[in-house]
Amino acid sequence: MSEELKVKTMEEFMAQGTQPEILFWVGSAGSYDDRAKKISRAFVKILNSANVDFAVLGPEESCTGDVAKRAGNEFLFQMQAMMNIEVLNGYEIKRIVTCDPHSFNTLKNEYPGLGGNYVVVHHTQFIKELLDAGRLSLAGQEYKEKRITFHDPCYLGRANSVFDAPREVLKKTNANIVEMKRNKKTALCCGAGGAQMFKEPEKGDMDINVLRTKDALETNPNIIATGCPYCNTMMTDGIKAHEKEESVTVLDVAELIANSI
Amino acid sequence: MEYLPNILFTIALIIGVGFFTKNIKKLSRNIKLGKDIDVSDNKSQRWKNMFRIALGQTKMVVKPVAGIMHILVYVGFIIINIEVLEIIIDGILGTHRVFAPVGALYDFLIGSFEILALLVIIAVVVFWIRRNLIRLQRFIKPEMKGWPKKDGNLILYIEFVLMLLFLTMNATDFQLQQLNEPHYTKAGAFPISQFLMPLFDGMSISSLVLIERTAWWLHILGILAFLNYLYYSKHLHILLAFPNTYYGKLKPQGEFNNLEAVTNEVKLMMDPSADPYAAPADDAPEPEKFGASDVMDLNWVQLLNAYTCTECGRCTSECPANQTGKKLSPRKIMMDTRDRLEEVGKNIDANKGEFVPDGKQLLDDYISKEELWACTTCNACVQACPISIDPLSIIVEMRRYLVMEQSAAPTELNNMMSNIENNGAPWPYNQMDRLNWVNE
């Protein structure tokens, strides 16, 4: 593909006897889902541009178990968690960044009780940190004057009160950030959480993602930005349901920033 | 015979408070049917939450109209209780307006009670209109049919009548004061009830006394009856909102508890020195049930939540599943939990303190699988609740039972979970390909 990305695994760091600045937890979606893989690539482009010395686990990474836990399979969740914690603690990982709010929530809140204690940040928080520290600068004017509305992922916003970082980062693109009527604490779910991503919805009169996309379209946006691979899929499908795929695109905050470097 | 009213009053008071105490004991016993949970942490934060959320009503005003009206009724309720104290003392001792000697302050207090009583009447009328004429969506959902709807209106009628009795009592009292009736101490200010006085113009002193006494008695007997109505009503929230906000969740909303019983088993499974074929020791306790299929499997804070719910429906109106026509309603989860808990409580009462299995449970008989699987765990219901109720925790606990005890997850979820078991991802991809995205 286009440009060469510099990605090192923890195994390589170990072999060199060094520690990375941060571990990038790619997550299952970021590793395998075609749309989400682009987000992983965009985020690495940002990390490379800011010269962040980061590592990934590669084949040593396994599902956090988040989705199993939300589905009620505590057993499978804890199996996954303990395996991952063994790997992470083995490498003495201190800090983790991830593009997936579900991994973010689980690693940050639910792993400590099982022996995994790390500082965990969402990629929008980390990008903000890089921008604030002057390690990353944006020259591109790709999104200047564009109308962007941000959809709060439940497990980033309501669940962990991260509302400002994604918005502040988006402002740096010089775009016009517009809010949906339901935002931040009262944002409507995209419909993917709680393991819904992996099953058909129950009988109803509408799909949740179509309703949420309606909220977004009411702001008359050029771009719907989000910070979650699952929200991304749901909103993209929602756009199609509203037949707006010609005029509105769904992009992750990482992609918007990577395109503005 | 002179002391007959005092005696009757004291008996009424004892009966009223006695029944109430009995009900509170039953309530407390039912709540304690839940599993233990450690909520002894962060006391200062918990007190703060109680003051802010329950006493300060901070989450009520998220919806400004309902919120402000609710504060009026609430402040009215709390402050008018000072008056109830005087009524009780008068009733027992046979005095009249025993606090009158405090003078100007007394006039100020009685005057403010009257203004509050009027505001309560206005708020109650607005509430009634919202429920019955405007028919706000959240008040006419399926789970509100029958008793819940009646309960909601009944509370409004009782409050309306109590306030009206209070004002009638004051109006006739004021009239009697002006007629220099000796028993009626000249005290109090009557900014509202003075407008009712023309109704009683020209009445004989004995009729006025009769009306004043009737209003006085009905008012206090009404309050005692209302106190005992609480246990059977959603109105229990006026008491339980306080402990409920104190014991409310302090962790980030996204953090679900890790089941300890599972942790022990997983650790054993991952311990290379453990014998996988070992028979359990003879004295080993029965393995703990995972998740919840009935109210006794929930923890006591969840049961307290159920009794605290006042069925306002803010949770349900914020729920994405409910907004898109699915059966799930977080409010119904709470109402079902309370109904089942009551049923279990009655069973215990009828069987000399012992629960006799009745072939029913919370799962299926009250809450269907379809409702449980419609949840996106988005926490909108938890966020919306003005008094820190957590319907999501009950949903998750019941999913745990379905998945771990019954293997009854929807097929697609079973596929997803076996993918995680086999490939370390919810999709059927090879774990060795986890890094392929870098070079694609």
Give the pLDDT confidence of A169-188 residue by residue, as tens digits.
999 999 999 999 999 999 99
Q: Which residue of B has its CA nearest to A27?
A: B425
Q: In the structure encoding, which two tokens stand for residue A213, read together?
A: 């996309």
Q: In the structure encoding, which two tokens stand for residue A162, read together?
A: 């991260």
User: Which residues of chain B does A109 touch, with a Cβ-Cβ cutoff of 8 Å?
Assistant: 251-252, 254-255
Region of poorest pLDDT, from A31-40, A156-165, B259-268, B364-373: B259-268
Kindly state the percentage of chain A with pLDDT values over 90. Answer: 97
Residue B376 touches partner A, C-beta closer than 8 Å: yes
Q: What is the torsional sign of CA A107, A111, A112, A118?
A: negative
Kindly state the percentage of chain B with pLDDT values over 90. Answer: 84
Buried b (16+ CB within 10 A) or exposed e, B88-125: bebbeebebbbbbeeeeebeebbebbbebbbbbbebbe
A 140-199 near B (Cβ less than 8 A) = 154-155, 158-161, 185-186, 188-189, 191-196, 198-199
SS3 B288: coil
pLDDT-derived band of residue B79, with 50, 70 and 90 as boundaries? confident
Nearest by Cα to B303 from B269, B356, B344: B344
Amino acid type, B126: V
SS3 A95: strand
Average confidence (pLDDT) over B200-212: 92
pLDDT tens-digit profile of B163-192? 999 999 999 999 999 999 988 988 889 999
Average confidence (pLDDT) over B274-280: 71
Query: Is B252 close to A154, i.e. CB distance below 8 A?
Result: no
pLDDT-derived band of residue A1, with 50, 70 and 90 as boundaries? very low
Amino acid type, B85: L
Query: Is A75 close to B417, i.e. CB distance below 8 A?
Result: no
Nearest by Cα to A150 from A227, A230, A257, A256: A227
Among B262, B297, B315, B417, the residue to mutate for chain A (most A Cβ within 10 A):
B417
User: Which residues of chain B does A185 touch, with a Cβ-Cβ cutoff of 8 Å?
Assistant: 383
Cβ neighbours, 10 Å, residue A65? 28
Nearest by Cα to B303 from B45, B35, B94, B66: B35
Residue B238 touches partner A, C-beta closer than 8 Å: no
Taking 80 as the threshold, does the pLDDT of residue B133 lie above it?
yes
Nearest by Cα to B236 from B344, B161, B131, B310: B310
Nearest by Cα to B124 from B162, B82, B87, B150: B162
Taking 60 as the threshold, does the pLDDT of residue A2 lie above it?
no
A 188-247 near B (Cβ less than 8 A) = 188-189, 191-196, 198-208, 211-212
Residue A67 touches partner B, C-beta closer than 8 Å: yes
Taking 60 as the threshold, does the pLDDT of residue A235 lie above it?
yes
Among B58, B249, B250, B258, the residue to mutate for chain A (most A Cβ within 10 A):
B258
Q: How far apart are CA B174 and CA B104, in angstroms?
A: 16
* Amino acid B127: pLDDT: 96
* Amino acid A38: pLDDT: 97
Query: Is A199 close to B376, i.e. CB distance below 8 A?
Result: no
B 289-308 near A (Cβ less than 8 A) = 290-291
Average confidence (pLDDT) over B101-112: 90
pLDDT-derived band of residue B277, with 50, 70 and 90 as boundaries? confident
Query: Is A70 close to B379, i.e. CB distance below 8 A?
Result: no
Residue B407 touches partner A, C-beta closer than 8 Å: no
Taking 80 as the threshold, does the pLDDT of residue A259 lie above it?
yes
* Amino acid A140: pLDDT: 81
Residues whose CB is less than 8 angstroms from the CB of residue B439 and which lie 6 or more positions away in sequence, other chains included: A1
Q: In the structure encoding, which two tokens stand for residue B25, read together?
A: 């004991």
- How many angstroms separate the CA of residue B237 from the nearest CA in chain A? 24
Taking 60 as the threshold, does the pLDDT of residue B369 lie above it?
yes
CA-atom Rg of chain B in angstroms = 28
Q: State ipTM.
A: 0.96
User: Which residues of chain A does B324 touch, with a Cβ-Cβ cutoff of 8 Å?
Assistant: 191, 201, 204-208, 211
Q: What is the pTM of this model?
A: 0.95
Taking 70 as the threshold, does the pLDDT of residue B1 lie above it?
no
pLDDT-derived band of residue B338, with 50, 70 and 90 as boundaries? very high
A 75-104 near B (Cβ less than 8 A) = 75-76, 78-80, 82-83
